[in-house]
Amino acid sequence: MLSAQEKAAILVEALPYIRKFYGKTVVIKYGGHAMVDCGLKKAVLTDVVLMKYVGIHPVIVHGGGPEITAMLQKLGIESRFVGGLRVTDEETMEIVEMVLAGKLNKEIVSLINRIGGKAVGLSGKDACLLQAVKKPGKVYQPDGTVEMVDIGCVGQVKKVNPAIVHTLINEGYIPVVAPVAVGPEGESYNVNADTAAGELAVALGADKLIILTDVEGILEDRENKNSLISVIRADDVPDLIARGIIDGGMIPKVECCTRALYGGVNTTHILDGRVPHSILLEVFTDKGIGTMVVR
């Protein structure tokens, strides 16, 4: 147990960070194991509520891939992926929207409200928040060429209209956004949650973008958990990808961070969402955790 003096020291350490980020917007991409484990779920959302109470403006963009897959399995629909993106026909899109904008979004909102915050759930279709066009899938051929294929109702964000989010923030609410976008003809698009979070962070002029994952961060050696790279520069990302240090599912996350940085977001972070209160450790302590991507 921490002594009273140790607890006071923690609060003192947090003070300059509370001052620094007071009034700033922080976009959090919420996904992975932290959305499944009940203890982690409560820890993450408690962090978010605390941030709001000390004057920071958190905005959540959540994923839900495992829950979508589980629902499709229940309905006897096979999940298929191309280049890491879910092939989403019209029938699958109905399930995606139901799970993301209906079930998961409202579960997150409800838990935040029970913890003591004030949350409002949105999808990208509300007030035309996320506007998208169809995004083709990429199939990498053995000869190194790339074939573009139709993967259905998968969207690429072309425009963000953040007015509704600004309104909610100014009224003291925590916006919770499901990454379902609207198309030119009112159609629904499934958007990668990392991408949606990055685009929204740019549009909001956010100070930070935080992406929760199921890994420690970017490792110099994936076999060595102690080889965490604490800080990388956006300009170094292509070389790290070429060397294989950044690969697989980490590539789109890091690319999302670099796009956000070039779009005006000050700092971006890739954190291990399996660590309880990882957001507070990153934002309010001297050491921080995970990997920070900077310009």
Residue-wise pLDDT for 63-73, tens only, equals 998 899 999 99
Question: What's the confidence (pLDDT) of residue 54?
Answer: 96
pLDDT tens readout for residues 253-279 = 898 999 999 999 999 999 988 888 999
> Tens digits of per-residue pLDDT, 280-291?
988 998 776 889
Superfamily of domain 23-232+245-285: Acetylglutamate kinase-like (3.40.1160.10)
What percent of the chain has a predicted confidence (pLDDT) above 90?
A: 61
Q: In this structure, are residues 190 and 86 in contact, taking their beta carbons and an 8 Å threshold?
A: yes
The H-assigned helical ranges of 75-162 are 90-97, 105-115
Q: Annotation-wise, does 102 bind a ligand? A: no
Whole-number Cα distances in Å, 275 to 32, 108, 206: 12, 19, 24
Residue 243: per-residue pLDDT: 84
Is 65 within any annotated ligand binding site?
yes
Phi, psi of 22 (to 5 degrees): -60, 130
Q: At what angle do helices 90-97 and 65-74 cross, to 10 degrees?
A: 120
Question: Do 111 and 42 touch, CB atoms closer than 8 A?
Answer: yes
| pLDDT tens sequence across 17-70 | 999 999 999 999 998 877 888 889 999 999 999 999 999 999 999 999 889 999
Position 208, amino acid: K
Q: Determine if residue 244 is labeled as part of a ligand binding site.
A: no
pLDDT for 2: 65
Paired strand residues for 194:
none
What percentage of the chain carries pLDDT values higher than 70?
Answer: 96
Decide if pLDDT at 1 tops 70: no
- The answer on whether 19 is annotated among ligand-binding residues is no
